[in-house]
Amino acid sequence: MLGVEQEMRASLHTIAKEGVFYYATTKRTQWIQQNLGMMTLVGSQIWWTWETLDVFERVRKGDKHGMKDWTAKLTKQLQELTMMVRSDISKMTRMSVNQLIIIEVHGRDIIDTFVRDSIMDPREFSWESQLRFLWDRSKDDIVINQCTGEFYFGFEYMGLNGRLVITPLTDRCYMTLTTALTYRLGGAPAGPAGTGKTETTKDLAKSMALLCVVFNCGEGLDFKAMASIFSGLVQTGAWGCFDEFNRIEPEVLSVVSSQVKTIQEALKNNQTRFSFEGNEIALIPTTGIFITMNPGYAGRSELPDNLKALFRPVTMVVPDLQVICEIMLLSEGFDVARVLAKKMVVLYKLAREQLSKQYHYDFGLRALKSVLVMAGSLKRGSPDLDEAVVMMRALRDNNMPKFVFDDVPLFRGLISDLFPSLDVPRVRYETLNDLIENNLAENNYVVLTAQGDQVDKVVQLYETMVTRHTTMVVGQTQGGKSVIIQTLANAQGKMGQPTKLHRINPKAIPVSELYGVLDPETRDWTDGLLSNIFRELNKPLPPGKDERRYIVFDGDVDALWVENMNSVMDDNKLLTLPNGERIRLQNYVKLLFEVFDLQYASPATISRCGMVYVDSRNLGWRPFVQRWLAARQSEAESQILSGLFDKYAQLCLDFVLDGVEDDTITAPPKRALPLTNLNMITQLCNMLAALLVEDDQSSADAEVDPTVLESAFIYCLIWSIGSTIVQDSVVQDRDRFDAFVKKLSGMGTQDGDFLPAAQLPNKSLYDYVFNPKEEKWASWSSRVPEYTPPESGRFSNILVPTIDTVRSEWLLDNQVAFGRPTMFVGESGSAKTVTIAGYLKSRDPAKFSSLVMNFSSRTSSRDVQTQVEGSVEKRTKDTFGPPTGKKLIVWCDDCSMPFRDTYGTMQPIAMLKMLVERKGLYDRGKELNWKNLKDLVHVSSMGPPGGARNPLDPRYMSLFSIFEISFPSNASLTGIYEQIIVAHALKLSVDIQSAAKQLTGATLSVYNHIIEKLPPTPSRFVYIFNLRDLSRVYDAMARAGASHRRGDIPRRDGASREGSAVDRRSHGSRAPERAQLL
């Protein structure tokens, strides 16, 4: 390999020598086409330096107009290149001319400055500070000078991989870095994201034809890994650019400083071999070490002072965007580049100032570059089109996808002000648009073709992915993000480019399991899930096969894991792993992020990605309902239901979400969990589907009674849109919603346990159930069975059936039978756990098995996965499930309890989201393959967020039917505890039996008094009383009754004293002063 490297350099040296020699005797356009691209660039720079020195000499001899004539010649050469780039030339020649224009514009600007400032002597600093290329005949080599530094051209083959637009900021950075190299120091560009720190370092290396290796630093790098990287760099003479260097752990940085110091000392002493980390290795003097940093971003640390001293710092600020735009437009063949560049920069400035502040907005350098790339592509595709139209289309099509609903008209106004009288319609891709619309129709989706709707969003995603290899699809839950991604994949498949989606939830597992981990002692490498998938997908395509492979990150984005992807998301396209492996992202592989928001993503991440914002307000709930109705068998039923949705749905949503009632805005009802309008409509459709079961084809022909359907609809409306509304002693919002729905229906009301479909109950609709088969309303109280004490007599086994437990169990069974995940939300003591446990116990063991998981702050995703995998068995190669013929009910109790990390994610919930949504998990052993889990039904229970309970991910909640379990009323509590104590008193004397009913009233009075008079405060935070305290009172009295059956409590007053003593023990133990309880 060393021989190949030497031959490469010798060949490039010969080619460069010939190119420089023939430059003066060959027509310039012909010379560009005949020579190797990278040699064309360096040859032009050598002759530019020589001609400038010649002008200085002529000026010294008296040619006063020499510098102006040289400026005119350079301008003429640029015009020739611009005409050449618009002509019919090969792709490689066009790339060569593009990059030559970028370099020569900078050369012309330098000479313009010399004319303006009267620079007439080559000893002036303005000339000395430029990067100057000369062919030194005595050394027969290319020498590069800047200030006092002298370097040799590296002759590393670079190809035509793009050059940076050189601005005054770039020049200053070059000067700092070359000066640092002169004194054998490192360079440290630092500054905000998108200012060109890494790219400037890479571009300087390209200018000098030296290999520059970019490493994306992270917490996975230790001092041994860094030593291995340094060892490779110094032995090859390459530059190392350590991106995001301050993300390395501080304790590792202190060791790194001694390693860098050792290398720099060897360079200063001009050694060819030196001792490094216990080994003697070769040292090639062209090596250089550079670090880039984003100060102040999340996950960054401060560099130690001894490490700072080894690097020459340079602060990178926002460059002159107008200069960059103008030069890039010139290189793409635009004539009016200066005017268009000005408009473009002004538009971005106004957008930054006037549009709303969103986490995913970026109007920086990378966003500008993507617009310029699109503009160049449009210009080449339509060379005769007006340049203003081309620029307007590029600006609109590149920016519109990322705007939220409210900012779209504002941006349209800005762009119409800058491009007046231009109204360019969106380009319709005939084949792609047709395939998208057909695919949506095939999957029974409503085809929405208006601007900003589903079809347009799919096209926007396609256009964004043309210019960016990393794209983020951002938006609220149930806005249509997944459908858009899947539709694009399906459409591309029908266009002859099969597209495979590989979904990962990066927050479901720790970072070490995502990227892999290097054992610090043995240096053994354990592959991670992402590194394994990334490596597999980037393997070469089989010959003749054209396919697209998308990695979809379906989870939260934060600085903890996504910063390790920065080198993949930018132009380097490299995933660097802690073991030193570097995997290049191929052109047929793209990265997609499907996220709720980017609150915790750093600007460094956001600026690297294309954005498509999917606003749920564009979609609304009606397309979902239309799709659901179209799937119903009975057309007559669908028509009636459609009218009921029009009558009730939007008005009820407005009432629940905004408190709108009869054109008056009131306080919206209090809800246990915040659900979106589509969440509630989805639950309404699921409730209707479960209640109006379609048995067979005969149901399509059956007659439909509109009154029965309306009553069924109202019942489902109560337990969908009104299912999370809170009702307690303070808040009576369920009563408000009940009255609102009754008023909206216009139906009559009456009392009774059983009512016809044409009448609504006078009492709360929450206290009744509608049976569509029997066509009548029935009160829940009529369904409550009699209480039977448990045979064991243990208090913990007691379950007194009430209206609340019967209702909750029916709702749970209704949704579980339908296969819909179900969640109960309610305060402690509202019988969530008891109801679900009783329901699971009553299931037929031949058809159901259950898995109960009690969550706590220590629960991890591995705990969840281990328990789930332990409850299923293998069916086929990659399919698992409960024993054949059974369904496994997975119950997650207290699912809001797991630890919430710094960025708001609960790891077990992220794992469950993937399990519920995609019905499978990734193996966490060595295989790392996907496991399909069949026949699982999910049930969850939790308390409302607050205290130790955390809010859940909205995207996770959208997968469930959610019901708020209210605290039992006083009447229910009286019935519960009275039945318990009376049943126990039957074993005692007659006097005590008659006193038992009075005990319940007295105990509840004390309990309610305590709740009212002793609220929790910061100093008395233990004052939290619930039904568990009340149950302990009755448990103690039952035990006391059992111990005194032989007549130790002979009188009624003895029983009262016993109850009073138990009350004091149960409630008074938390009161520091006895008087507070009395």
Q: What is the distance, to the nearest Å, from the Cα of residue 19 to the centroid of all Cα atoms in its chain?
A: 51
With respect to residue 410, please indicate whether it lies within any of the assigned structural domains: no
1/179: higher pLDDT: 179
Evaluate whether residue 875 is within a structural domain.
Answer: yes
Q: Helix 970-985 vs helix 1027-1043: angle between axes, to the nearest 10 degrees? A: 10
Question: Is residue 1064 scored above 70 in pLDDT?
Answer: no
Does position 254 have pLDDT exceeding 50, yes or no? yes
Q: CA 465 to CA 456: how far, in whole Å? A: 14
User: Is 989 in the same domain as 930?
Assistant: no
Residue 232 lies in a domain: no
Domain membership of residue 868 as a residue range:
810-964
Q: What is the DSSP letter of 649?
A: I
Q: Which of 964, 998, 1021 is the last residue of a domain?
A: 964
pLDDT at 1075: 44
pLDDT of 1012 over the 50 cut: yes
Name which of 294, 123, 274 is nearest 196 in CA terms: 294
CATH of the domain at 988: 1.20.920.30
> Is 942 found in the same domain as 1026?
no
pLDDT value at residue 194: 78
In this prediction, residues 8-24 reach a mean pLDDT of 92
Q: Do 721 and 820 sit in the same domain of this protein?
A: no
When pLDDT is averaged across residues 897-904 and rounded to a whole number, the result is 90
Looking at the DSSP bridge assignments, the partners of residue 291 are: 242
| 629 and 598 share one domain | no
Encoded tokens for 409: 């008209």
Structure tokens at 114: 């010399």
Q: Are 139 and 98 in contact (CB under 8 A)?
A: no
In a domain, 567, yes or no: yes
| DSSP notation for 356-371 | ---TT---SHHHHHHH
- Same-domain pairing of 655 and 733: yes
CA distance 548 to 541: 10
Does the structure show a pLDDT above 50 at 277? yes
Note whether residue 866 is domain-resident: yes
Per DSSP, 495 falls in state: T
pLDDT exceeds cutoff 80 at 775: yes
Supply the DSSP symbol for 82. Answer: H
463 Cβ partners below 8 Å, 6+ apart? 374, 397, 398, 401
Contacts of residue 397, Cβ cutoff 8 Å, sequence gap at least 6: 374, 426, 427, 460, 463
Q: Choose one of 100, 126, 156: the last residue of a domain.
A: 156
* Residue 649 near residue 621 (C-beta atoms within 8 A): yes
Same domain, residue pair 598 and 658: no
771 and 642, same structural domain? yes
Each residue's pLDDT tens digit, 552-610: 999 999 888 888 888 899 888 999 888 888 999 999 999 999 999 898 888 888 888 99
In this structure, are 458 and 585 located in the same domain?
Answer: yes
Residue 938 backbone phi and psi in degrees, to 5: -110, 130
**Helix, strand, coil percent values for the chain (each to nearest 5):** 50, 15, 35
Q: What is the pLDDT of residues 456-471, one digit of tens each?
A: 999 999 999 988 899 9
Closest CA to 622 of 401, 448, 436, 408: 448
Other CB atoms within a 10 A radius of the CB of residue 271 amount to: 13
Q: Is residue 534 domain-shared with residue 563, that is, in the same domain? A: yes
What is the number of other CB atoms lying within 10 angstroms of the CB of residue 210? 21
Token pair for 853: 């998981």
Q: What is the DSSP letter of 672?
A: S
Asked whether the beta carbons of 823 and 940 are under 8 A apart, the reply is yes
Examine the domain organization and report whether 629 and 689 are in the same domain. yes
Residue 642 lies in a domain: yes
Report how far apart, in Å, the C-alpha atoms of 972 and of each of 751, 1040, 1070 are: 20, 24, 26
At residue 852, the pLDDT reads 94
What is the tens place of the pLDDT at every residue in 674-687? Answer: 899 999 999 999 99
Cα gap 402→614, rounded to integer Å: 8
| CATH code, 674 | 1.10.472
pLDDT value, residue 1059: 53
Structure tokens at 1050: 């002979």
- By the 8 A CB rule, do 195 and 320 touch? no
Does residue 1015 surpass a pLDDT of 70? yes
Is 1040 a residue whose pLDDT tops 70?
no
- Is residue 244 within 8 A of residue 193, CB to CB? The reply is no
Considering the domain boundaries, does residue 231 fall inside one? no
Task: Provide the pLDDT for residue 830.
Answer: 81
Q: How far is CA 602 from CA 190, 200, 362, 563, 958, in A?
A: 15, 21, 11, 8, 27
Instruction: Tell me the pTM.
Output: 0.84
- Per DSSP, the residues of 385-415 read S-HHHHHHHHHHHHHGGG--TTHHHHHHHHH
Mean of the per-residue pLDDT values of the chain: 87
Which residue do the tokens 């995609």 mark? 918
Domain total of the chain: 5
Note whether residue 268 is domain-resident. no
Provide the percentage of residues in the chain whose pLDDT is more than 70.
94
The answer, yes or no, to whether residue 403 has pLDDT greater than 70, is: yes
Res. 805: pLDDT tops 70: yes
Q: Check residue 439 and give its pLDDT.
A: 93
Q: Judge if 434 and 483 occupy the same domain.
A: yes
1047 confidence band (pLDDT: 50, 70, 90):
very low
pLDDT at 710: 93
Residue 847 belongs to domain with CATH number: 3.40.50.300
How far is it, in rounded angstroms, from Cα 130 to Cα 172? Answer: 10
Return the half-sphere exposure (C-beta side, CA atoms, 13 A cut-off) of residue 279: 10
β-strand partners of 473: 594, 612
| 910 and 991, same domain (yes or no) | no
| Boundary of a domain, candidates 558, 580, 612 | 612
Burial of residue 254, with CB atoms counted within 10 A of its CB: 0-12 exposed, 13-18 middle, 19 or more buried: middle
